[in-house]
Structure 1
């Protein structure tokens, strides 16, 4: 199984972004494999989005829903912020992967307003 397949199959991922001074900041996220990349959805004002704007280098690792219990190898990648159309595709991919809970969550994210959320795509391997 490739790193992409393994990471895409995880229920929760620990996404680690880096501050300007290099300090790692881990955040548990929902994610789905989409078009050969790992797709993540976030609030546009979240710290991870700001950190990715400054430094696209990230790491991913399987974890529990709180991000405390990690498992499997750490995989490096490069993240990029997506436009509105691609963010909508990310919402759909996550909704499909997470079933009813994902569909309800993505529905309410749409109600909050599209300008408040953003999709992230992570290409594994840096």
Structure 2
């Protein structure tokens, strides 16, 4: 993977955003919002999560999600944009690239705290790619 590239117009507003509200959908269509850290690279954004979360199960059933800028606690601070989530192959080049981008943007949180928490939880860390839905 190459170094970071300029953000697409749709994702440009998320480049400096600390937290976004990621809304995933249950089978009945109900949205569930979760605050996450994302790193933007060109026309893609990446986030990570522990492997056993409900968010992972919802994305597996419906990869259509929404992203909105938010506060640390998940209160939206701007309009949402529709996107599609794709699980990156654990240990693959894209997975390592996503991890590197997240560590670079959030050195302490994503470089130390989150990996330690996932280790203590004894769960695998999963990385997802987000692309704006057209």
Would you call these one fold, judging by a TM-score over 0.5?
yes
Higher helix share: 1
**Could you say which structure has the higher strand fraction?**
1
Contact (CA 8 Å) 2:24, 2:64: kept in 1 or not? yes
Does structure 2 conserve the Cα–Cα contact (< 8 Å) formed by 1:95 and 1:106? Answer: no
| Structure 1: gaps (5+ residues) | none
Look up the SS of the partner of 1:71 in the other structure: coil
- Contact residue 52 and residue 123 of structure 2 kept, 8 A: no
Q: What displacement does 1:33 show?
A: 0.8
SS in 2 for 1:51: helix
Unmatched runs of 5 consecutive residues or more in structure 2: 1-7
SS of corresponding position for 2:108: helix
CA RMSD of aligned residues (A): 2.2
Per-residue CA deviation, residues 73-120 of structure 1 (Å, 9 max, x unaligned), is 210001111101232222211110012333213542675599611101
Give the counterpart of 1:98 among 100, 103, 106.
106
Structure-1 separation of matches of 2:118 and 2:27: 31
Query: Equivalents in 2 of 1:105, 1:91: separation in Å?
Result: 13
Displacement of 1:17 in angstroms is 0.2
Structure 1 Cα separation of the partners of residues 109 and 58 of structure 2: 28
CA pair 9-117 structure 1, distance change in 2 beyond 3 A = same
